[in-house]
Amino acid sequence: MCEYNGRFYGGGVGELVPNEFKSLAIPYKKVAKEHLQQLDNMFRTETPFSDIIDYVDTVVLGSLSDNEIKLLQNVRNRYLTRRLKLYERDEHDGQYE
């Protein structure tokens, strides 16, 4: 969500100043040890990242409605796609972020 609150400069560089950071909504949820062990196991067994992200979403965002979770996932995917496109463009120009 930093991309939503911050600003971008040439080459895809993003900035988030303290006033913008204050308005950033960061979910806080105490996570049970079992969830951490499951997450550790998923990484160790090379579970696809998309499955890991889905698992984390169910744990962290579980108190939200399905529609709210889908909305947040769509926003995340849109910004991820934007970031990847910027990286690919810069990679072809011989520059790396």
DSSP string, the chain: -HHHHSEE-GGG-EE--HHHHHT---------HHHHHHHHHHHHTT--HHHHHHHHHHHHSTTS-HHHHHHHHHHHHHHHHHHHHHHHHHHHTT---
* pLDDT tens readout for residues 40-84: 999 999 999 989 999 999 998 888 999 999 998 898 888 788 777
pTM here? 0.63
- For tokens 């400069």, what's the residue? 9
Higher pLDDT, 22 or 60: 60
pLDDT band at 13 (very low <50, low <70, confident <90, very high): low
Mean pLDDT in residue range 86-96: 58
% of the chain at pLDDT higher than 70 = 71
Cα 47 from Cα 82, distance rounded (Å): 24
